[in-house]
């Protein structure tokens, strides 16, 4: 968890004086505002405009790339990654009070978080190889808790709406695909647990007060849930060998 500084930042004071300032940090073979103990060819970049942001990058490995872009008001972002050939990006491009945390171990993977709105939160853990995670959060108060482990897994999450959407996504194994969209939604919940190989899950929610729960195990399963309107509940639990 990132701890906010208690003192007023120089950037905040400058803006109060009517100035426009930006901060850009880039470091090869190491980390921007963090530690870099890898073999080489690592790249870390932090670009900040706006007011009172906090960003940290820690990298240990080889051919790692980490980028944090922040604008708006009081954004918080952290990237910790180890391994080889990973690419990690956090874009907090508008609004304020957004939080994004990424913890990665592995190689040749991609994680991208895009936040544009207010008080959105993403917490991502990735372990393994050749996996991808893309999260897009807009509007207000969306929460994503994502854990992906294994090889060649793909996960995509989109959240938008004015409050209280929550996604708890856990994917483990190989060659699984998960797509969750909570678009123009309010107080909706998606819980997906997918383990095994070659499984596919798609959850689409719009409207209010929905709950979708999907559990898949073993190989070659497919699950689809679509909810629109108010107050629906859907549950799928399946396995196949």
Structure confidence by residue, pLDDT tens digits, 115-141: 999 999 999 999 999 999 999 999 999
CA angle 209, 100, 61 (to 5 degrees): 140
Neighbours of 128 (CB within 10 A): 22
* Domain membership flag for residue 96: yes
Residue 18 in this model has a pLDDT that exceeds 90: no
Domain of 104, in residue numbers: 61-240
pLDDT at residue 164, as a whole number: 87
Q: What is the pLDDT of residues 162-213, one digit of tens each?
A: 888 999 999 999 999 999 999 999 999 999 999 999 999 999 999 999 999 9
Quote the pTM value: 0.86
The mean of the pLDDT values for the chain is 88
User: To which residue do tokens 């497919």 refer?
Assistant: 222
Of 68, 32, 76, 69, nearest to 52 by C-alpha is 76
* Domain membership flag for residue 47: no
* Domain membership flag for residue 11: no
User: To which residue do tokens 């992906």 refer?
Assistant: 148
C-alpha gyration radius of the chain: 19
* Domain membership flag for residue 41: no
Q: Which residues contact 160 (CB under 8 A, 6 or more apart)?
A: 117, 137, 138, 139, 142, 182, 183, 184, 185
* Number of domains composing the chain: 1
pLDDT at residue 140, as a whole number: 95
Residue 38 in this model has a pLDDT that exceeds 90: no
* Domain membership flag for residue 18: no
pLDDT at residue 24, as a whole number: 58
């Amino acid at each position: 968890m990132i701890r906010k500084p208690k003192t007023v930042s120089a950037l905040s004071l400058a803006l109060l004086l009517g100035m426009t300032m930006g901060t850009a940090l880039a470091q090869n073979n190491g980390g921007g505002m963090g530690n870099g103990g890898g073999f080489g060819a690592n790249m870390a970049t932090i670009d900040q405009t706006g007011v009172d942001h906090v960003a940290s990058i820690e990298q240990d490995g080889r051919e790692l790339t980490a980028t944090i872009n922040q604008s708006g008001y009081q954004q918080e972002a952290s990237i910790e990654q180890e391994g080889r050939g990973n690419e990690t990006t956090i874009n907090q491009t508008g609004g304020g009070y957004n939080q994004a945390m990424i913890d990665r171990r592995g190689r040749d993977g991609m994680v991208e978080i895009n936040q544009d709105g207010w008080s959105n939160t993403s917490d991502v853990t990735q372990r393994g190889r050749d996996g991808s995670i893309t999260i897009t959060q807009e509007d207000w108060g969306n929460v994503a808790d994502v854990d992906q482990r294994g090889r060649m897994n793909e996960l995509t999450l989109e959240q938008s709406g004015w409050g209280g959407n929550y996604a708890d996504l856990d994917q483990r194994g190989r060659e699984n695909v998960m797509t969750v969209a909570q678009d123009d939604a309010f107080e909706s919940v998606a819980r997906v647990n997918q383990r095994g190989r070659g499984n596919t899950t798609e959850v689409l929610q719009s409207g209010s007060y929905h709950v979708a729960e999907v559990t898949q195990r073993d190989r070659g399963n497919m699950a689809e849930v679509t909810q629109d309107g108010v107050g629906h509940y859907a549950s799928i639990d399946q396995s196949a060998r």
